[in-house]
Structure 1
Amino acid sequence: MKKALLGLTLTFSLHALAAPVQVANSQDGDILTNEAGMSLYVFDKDAQGMSNCNDQCAVNWPPLAAGADDQAEGDYGIVTRADGSRQWSYQGQPLYLWVKDQAAGDTTGDGVKEVWHLARP
């Protein structure tokens, strides 16, 4: 929506961006995926509302990034990472992708080192 005010044009956003997450049915049951259908994961070593996956871990397990204008809603929250970037979470658990998943529907990260698990609704 645009509104002229004293010769200035201001632009307002009517909606904050929602979590880029959807529920998909996989061979492992219902799971959370990103908008492209790539599986999302949670990490046992994370604390509620805090990511403990940094540096090389975050290279292998890319955080599901949240933009500056994104807003938490319902079960979907946003955590601030150690480097100051923002990451989506589900019920307080930060969400990640797995670098070795190559196509939508891949779930190869489930059970890695017994600390990575598919995110489930």
Structure 2
Amino acid sequence: MKKSSLFAAFAFSVLLAGAAQAQPVMRDGVLADAAGRTVYIFDKDSVGKSNCSGGCLVNWPAFVAKPGAAAKGEFGLIDANGARQWTVNGKPLYYFAGDSKAGDRNGNGMGGVWHVISEKPVAVPQAAY
């Protein structure tokens, strides 16, 4: 059973990686694709450069743009891993293979380096010194 679950997650990630998408949109308070699948940023990326490759892309498939897509506003496109990948404020966007349906946010906070983009920033309490 464990092998079939792993295979299903891998197959889903390959499906997402191969699906070119239109510009991201805010949906239910987070940035998502047009179908409502949550997209994430990776803290280890640089502005305009993806640092996720190989095994990383199996778990975090790139959010790839449709051919001829044009970016507007804070959204952009970069050439990464052989595809045109969507960015927000220069940071590349990804899916999480552990999300199985629209609205899932299972990757948020993963490893302390993967995050959703929310429309309302969360206030971080200041430490008292």
Normalised to the residue count of structure 2, the TM-score between the two structures is 0.71
Q: Which residue of 2 aligns with 1:68?
A: 67
Q: Which runs of 5+ in 2 are unaligned?
A: 1-20, 120-129
Residue deviations 1:14-44, cap 9 Å, x none?
A: xxxx94311112xxxx210111111110000
CA distance in 2, matches of 1:31, 1:91: 15
Contact persistence 2:23–2:75 (CA under 8 A): no
Consecutive aligned runs of 4 or more in structure 1 exceeding 6 Å deviation:
none
CA distance in 2, matches of 1:65, 1:84: 10
Residue deviations 1:73-106, cap 9 Å, x none?
A: 211100111x331100011111100001011111
Q: Which residue of 2 aligns with 1:102?
A: 100
Q: What is the letter of the counterpart of residue 37 of structure 2?
A: M
Whose helix fraction is larger, Structure 1's or Structure 2's?
2
Aligned positions, number: 99
Q: Secondary structure at the match of 1:68?
A: coil
Identity %: 39
Q: Which residue of 1 aligns with 2:113?
A: 115
CA RMSD of aligned residues (A): 1.5
Contact persistence 1:31–1:39 (CA under 8 A): yes
CA distance in 2, matches of 1:19, 1:74: 14
Q: Which runs of 5+ in 1 are unaligned?
A: 1-17
Answer yes or no: is 1:90 the counterpart of 2:84. Answer: no
Contact persistence 1:61–1:96 (CA under 8 A): yes
Tell me which structure has the larger Cα radius of gyration: 1
Whose strand fraction is larger, Structure 1's or Structure 2's?
1
Normalised to the residue count of structure 1, the TM-score between the two structures is 0.76
